[in-house]
Structure 1
Amino acid sequence: MAIRIHPSFAIHPGDWLKTEIVQAHGVSINDLAEAFGVSRQSISSLLNGRAALSADMAIRFEHAFGVKAETLMRMQARYDLGKAREHEADLAVRSLVSV
């Protein structure tokens, strides 16, 4: 039996990156966008939880701050699954496996 993590434990990676990495290092959104070669809006959307973390962006954070891209992508997957689980009861799917 698989262990299910309660959806409330699913933290958007942008929220974590904002508080634990970006703010902790005293980096502004403008400086981060410039260093990453992306728009300020894309960084702001990610850090404020309005956009998902892409693999490219995860690699940028890895290069800039040393946090593993794989770890960040697992956070994003866990967050996405947690959000989907909140609406799991609304899904109407019949089993295709014989018991």
Structure 2
Amino acid sequence: MAIKVHPSFAIHAGEWLKTEIVEAHGVSINDLAEAFGVSRQSVSAVLNGRAALTADMAIRFEKAFGVKAETLLRMHSRYELAKAREHEADLVVKRLIAA
């Protein structure tokens, strides 16, 4: 049986990375983008919750800070599912197979 976590505990992985990893290490977005070999805009969008954390970006964070990409992707997946569940009642879907 899976443990249900209240949606309020779901946090965007990028926002968590920003506060708990990037800022905690005193790294600027410009320096991070340069180290990752990506644009400042792409790093900023992830860290500020405007873009999803991709597997590629998760691996970059793993290489830079040691936090496992799998952990970050699970965190982000839970966040996205919690956000979708907020609007679950709005989804109209016809059941195809009887339960």
1:33 aligns with 2:33: yes
- Identity, in percent, stands at 79
Structure 2 match to 1:68: 68
Runs of 4+ in 1 over 2 A off after TM superposition: 1-6, 94-99
**Is 2:28 aligned against 1:24?**
no
Equivalent in the alignment of 2:51: 51
Separation (CA, whole Å) in 1 of partners of 2:48 and 2:30: 14
Letter in 2 for 1:40: R
1:71-97 per-residue CA deviation (whole Å, 9 max, x = no partner) reads: 000011001100000000001123333
CA RMSD in angstroms, aligned pairs only: 1.3
Give the drift of 1:3.
3.8
> Higher relative contact order at CA 8 Å, sep ≥6: structure 1 or structure 2?
1
Distance across 2 between alignment mates of 1:51 and 1:9: 19
Normalised TM-score (structure 1): 0.93
Q: Distance in 1 between matches of 2:4 and 2:93?
A: 20
The CA distance in 1 between the partners of 2:10 and 2:48, in whole Å, is: 15
Distance 1:94 1:3 in 2: 28
Gaps of 5+ in 2: none
> Structure 1: which 5+ residue stretches go unaligned?
none
TM-score (normalizing by structure 2): 0.93
Number of residue pairs the alignment of both structures matches: 99
